[in-house]
Structure 1
């Protein structure tokens, strides 16, 4: 892996943590999430005319994935409304590959290497350590983070099947961004039109940062996978956990205890080992 590819993967990881921080730092986390999803949808809308349509066989997967993505955004907003990002972001990001691996073994009968099982054990240790760190909204925040990890695992498995049948991975991904933003923006406009429009007028810069960040994060990862082994790219992307902890402490001024630092590092290390395994 070249230094350029390495740096781009890290940039993508940092961007993912950044848009999560935008949600957490928003005055209204749900409206911020709707704004970010709407911006991402507009970016995708500008790009899809220049790409081929995904194969029709992939559209059922795409439709189900969009439902999962909408739920994911809502849960991100709900989690950050009551709990610290430095505690819940590592759990959401780190638990998802653990759940994907578990489903792959017991439901899809895909064997895992000893190395991968070691990664699962390390992630589990990290999650237990993070759960032991007290904070505001502790119990409910952890529950929401774990539920969202399940949602992430769900759309990861669905997209893994969908992108294989799409014949156009980039187009498939952009259509997900495009379609996910529509129900979220529609909900905000129908139920809280005046408030949402005023919110966007005052915070549109954050919307652009968050929306562009979520699209660019995934786009950079896709590009990197054409330049380096997929397992290596996936493993390195888990550094977003560490970026998330640093950003939450430095920008959001969340309390960063020794337990949280150690637990986040354990989860990130376990996720990397699992991805490489």
Structure 2
């Protein structure tokens, strides 16, 4: 993986942790409700809409993956909101993101013909092991069955849309503008299933400032990731993207004041080492 692509994906990882932290912040509200992902999705769609006339329209070959992925993304954002409501940020976020790279790497070989070499394979192992360790707490902090199932569901949706979009963005074309056009259409279409729904308070409110900020971060983060998938192996991009758990743990400790012990910091170091090995 080229250094420029690696830096771009790391930037996307930071943006991803940021919008998740914004969504998690909503779960800490006094009403105790799960955060509503509708504002985030609508915010991303509002940012993407003005870009559509300026970017290439994806070709017909990309639309099957694009359409299915939009539905998967709508489900994903809803499930992420539930996961942040049910568990601590330092547990839910690493687990949601940490399970997907191993699954993606396992399927990227037979689906895309991308088999990692020895160095990248070790990096994947360190990265996946690190993020899984980050999500594991002492017995008093173990996730309830319902929360664990939600987290596993999110990881499965991440795997599904990653594989769909890896195929779709490559069918869209090799250029950055092609990837940007695919990403913009994806976020606009992802908002459609949520438009008839009302916010938790019953109003048809707009995304609000938080939704616009989180949606913009989400759109930019995933657009960068899709562009990287046209220039580097899917499994390596997907795994490097999950270094967002490093930023997530920092935010959990400094923003949400959750306890993060030495074991989780050691796991974070394993994530960093795994990411470095993915450069090969």
- Number of the residue aligned with 1:174: 184
Q: Once the 2 structures are TM-superposed, how far is the Cα of residue 118 of structure 1 from its aligned partner?
A: 2.1
- Number of the residue aligned with 1:165: 171
Q: Once the 2 structures are TM-superposed, how far is the Cα of residue 266 of structure 1 from its aligned partner?
A: 2.8
User: What CA deviation, in whole Å up to 9, does each residue of 1:217-262 have, x standing for no partner?
Assistant: 2334566789xx6468766544321111111221122222223333
Contact 1:13 1:238 in 2 (8 A): yes
1:244 to 1:219, Cα distance in 2 relative to 1, 3 A? same
Superposed, 1:1-277 pairs within 5 Å as 9-26=9-26, 27=29, 28-31=33-36, 33-105=37-109, 110-126=114-130, 129-130=133-134, 132-134=136-138, 136=141, 138-140=143-145, 141-167=147-173, 168-188=178-198, 192=200, 194-195=202-203, 197=205, 204-221=208-225, 230=232, 237-270=241-274, 273=277, 275-276=278-279
CA-based RMSD of the aligned residues comes to: 3.1
User: What CA deviation, in whole Å up to 9, does each residue of 1:27-56 have, x standing for no partner?
Assistant: 34442x110110101111111111121001
Contact 2:21 2:251 in 1 (8 A): yes
Separation (CA, whole Å) in 1 of partners of 2:50 and 2:100: 30
| TM score, norm. by length of structure 1 | 0.81
Q: Mind listing any 5+ residue stretches in structure 2 that lack a counterpart?
A: none
Contact 2:65 2:167 in 1 (8 A): yes
1:225 to 1:155, Cα distance in 2 relative to 1, 3 A? closer
Separation (CA, whole Å) in 2 of partners of 1:88 and 1:265: 19
Q: Once the 2 structures are TM-superposed, how far is the Cα of residue 23 of structure 1 from its aligned partner?
A: 0.7
Contact 1:24 1:80 in 2 (8 A): yes
Separation (CA, whole Å) in 2 of partners of 1:132 and 1:241: 13
Contact 1:53 1:171 in 2 (8 A): yes
Separation (CA, whole Å) in 1 of partners of 2:163 and 2:8: 25
Q: Which has the higher helix share?
A: 1
Contact 1:87 1:260 in 2 (8 A): no
1:209 to 1:50, Cα distance in 2 relative to 1, 3 A? same
User: What CA deviation, in whole Å up to 9, does each residue of 1:185-229 have, x standing for no partner?
Assistant: 32236xx573453xx5xx822112211111122334566789xx6
1:211 to 1:172, Cα distance in 2 relative to 1, 3 A? same
Q: Once the 2 structures are TM-superposed, how far is the Cα of residue 57 of structure 1 from its aligned partner?
A: 1.4
Separation (CA, whole Å) in 1 of partners of 2:108 and 2:240: 21
Separation (CA, whole Å) in 2 of partners of 1:147 and 1:268: 26
Contact 1:90 1:268 in 2 (8 A): no
